Amino acid sequence: MQIDELLGKAESLQNKLIDLDLKLEAKNNELTEIARVGAMITSIHDLDGILSAVMEMSLRLLQAEVGCILTWENDSEPVTKISWGIDYSMIRTLKLDSNTDIASRTMSTGETVMINHFPPEMEIPANVNSAISAPLVCHGETIGVLIAVNKTNENGFDDDDKLMLEILVNFATVAIENSKLLEERLIKQKLEDELALANEVQKALIPADDFDFQGAGVSHIYYPAGQVGGDYYDIIPVSPNEFVLIVGDVSNKGVPAALTMTAVRSVVRNEVRTKKDVTRIMNNINLTLCLDVMRREGTFITLFFAYINLEKMEMTFSNAGHLPPLLFNPRHEKIDQLKQGGMILGQFEDCQYLAEKIELTSHDRILCFTDGITECEDKKGEMYGRVRLEEFVSKHKRMDDKDFLRLLKSEIDDFAGGTGEPQFDDITCVLVDIR
C-alpha cells in the first residue's frame, strides 16, 4: 500500500512538473512574442501606424474579439482614433456605475480597469461579457485609452492579460514619444533650412564687397546674432564720386526684424532713386513706413542716412534716432558726433526730419555702427560703451580701414570673452575713408 501511494505521488508530481514545463514554455513563447511585438511597435514612427499596430497586437495576444483606441482632445468628448469592430458609441454603454463608463474610469485614474461581470442593474449590450481598458500615457499625461472587449474563452480576462496589455501600451508609449520627437526634429530641421535660406536671401540684400569711389573707400562688417538679423546697412552708388550711405537697426530680433529690414530697404531704395533732397527722402520714408510697413505696435527703425558728394567734398545727413556716427580726422585729433535729424522712423506720421550739410576734408573718417558694438557686455554686465569706442578710434586712427574694422571686431569679442553667452545682438560697422 505504501509503495502504491508513493508511486501515485511520484506520478502526480511528474504530471505537475510536465504541466509546469508546458506553462513555462508557453510563458517563454509569450514573452518572446511580446518582445518581438514591442520591437515592431517601437520601430514605427507614424502615430496612426503605432496605434493600429498596438490595437491589432492587443486583440491577438489577449484573444479578444473587438476593441478600439479613444483619445481626448481639448477636454471634449472622446474621439475614436482606432476602431476594430466597436467605437465610443458602444464603449459609453459599458458602465461601471450609473455615471462612469470603463474608458472614463481609466482616463480619470490612469489605471487599467478589467471587468468580467458588469453590475446587473447596468444595461449592457447582450453580446458583451467582458472588457479591459488600459491608459495610453505620453510624457506623464494620459492621452487616451485602449479597450479590448470579449475574451474568446469563457473565463474572461485575468491578471496575465492585464500585465500583457500594460506591457504593450508601454511599448506604444515609447513609440508615441519617439514619433513626437521625430516630428519635432523634422519641424526643427525644416525651420533651420528655412532660416538658412533666409540667411542667403538677406546676404544678397546687403553689400557683399567693399566700395571704391573717386576719393573715398567704404569698408564694412556685419555679424548677425542669429541666422538672420535686424541690422540694415546699404551703400548706393549715385555716380563715380557720389553715393548714399545708410545704417539702421530694426526693433526686435530674428525673423520679424529681418522681414522688416527687407521692407525698409525697398522703401529707402525707392526714395533714393527718385530724389536727392535728404529732408524730403527722410520724411517720405517715415510716412511710408508708418502707413504700410510698421503696423505692429512697438516696431520701428533707427536710421542714419547720408548723401556724400566727393566732388564737392560735402556730406548731407539726417539721423533718425540712431546711435550718432563718429566723424574723425587723424590730423586734427577731433571726434564729432553726427546727431542732427529727428525721431525714430515708423511711429509718428507727422514727424519732420532735419538735415545737416558738413564739409569733408582729406583723411576724414566716418564710422557708423549699431548697438551691437556699444551695448556688448562683459562677464560683469558692463557695456563696452561709446567712451571705449572713441578711445579705440583715437588709438588706431591711422590704421588701414579694413584692418581697423577687423581689430574692432576682435576687441569686441575679447571684451565679451568669458561670459559664456552667445552674441546677443547684431554687429554692424561701416567705415568711410576720405582719401
**DSSP code, position 219:** E
Considering only the top CATH level, what class is 28-177? alpha beta
Backbone angles phi, psi at 123, to 5 degrees: -85, 85
Task: Output the pLDDT for position 234.
Answer: 93
Task: Output the pLDDT for position 144.
Answer: 86
Per-residue model confidence as pLDDT tens for the chain (435 residues) = 567 666 666 666 666 666 666 555 555 555 556 656 555 666 666 777 878 888 888 888 889 999 998 888 766 778 888 898 899 888 888 888 878 889 989 988 889 999 988 777 777 777 888 999 999 887 778 888 999 999 988 788 999 889 888 888 888 777 777 766 666 676 777 777 766 766 676 676 778 788 999 999 999 999 887 766 778 899 999 988 999 999 999 887 777 777 888 888 889 998 988 767 999 999 999 999 988 887 777 788 999 999 999 999 999 999 999 999 999 987 777 899 999 999 999 998 999 999 999 999 998 999 999 998 999 988 888 999 999 999 999 999 888 999 999 999 999 988 888 555 666 788 899 999 998
Task: Output the pLDDT for position 206.
Answer: 78
What residue spans in the chain does CATH classification 3.60.40.10 cover? 206-434
- Could you identify the residue written with the cell 527703425? 301
Dihedral sign computed on CA atoms, order 312, 314, 316, 317: positive
| Distance from C-alpha of 417 to C-alpha of 335, rounded to nearest angstrom | 28
Does the pTM exceed 0.85? Answer: no
Q: Which helix (H) or strand (E) holds 133?
A: strand 131-138
Fold designation for 206-434: Phosphatase 2c; domain 1 (3.60.40)
Task: Output the pLDDT for position 224.
Answer: 83
User: Is the separation of the CB atoms in 393 and 189 below 8 Å?
Assistant: no
What residue spans in the chain does CATH classification 3.30.450.40 cover? 28-177
Q: Which helix (H) or strand (E) holds 33?
A: helix 2-42
Strand boundaries in 202-337, DSSP class E: 211-213, 216-223, 231-239, 242-250, 301-309, 314-320, 326-329, 334-337
User: Is the separation of the CB atoms in 322 and 302 below 8 Å?
Assistant: yes
Task: Output the pLDDT for position 324.
Answer: 96
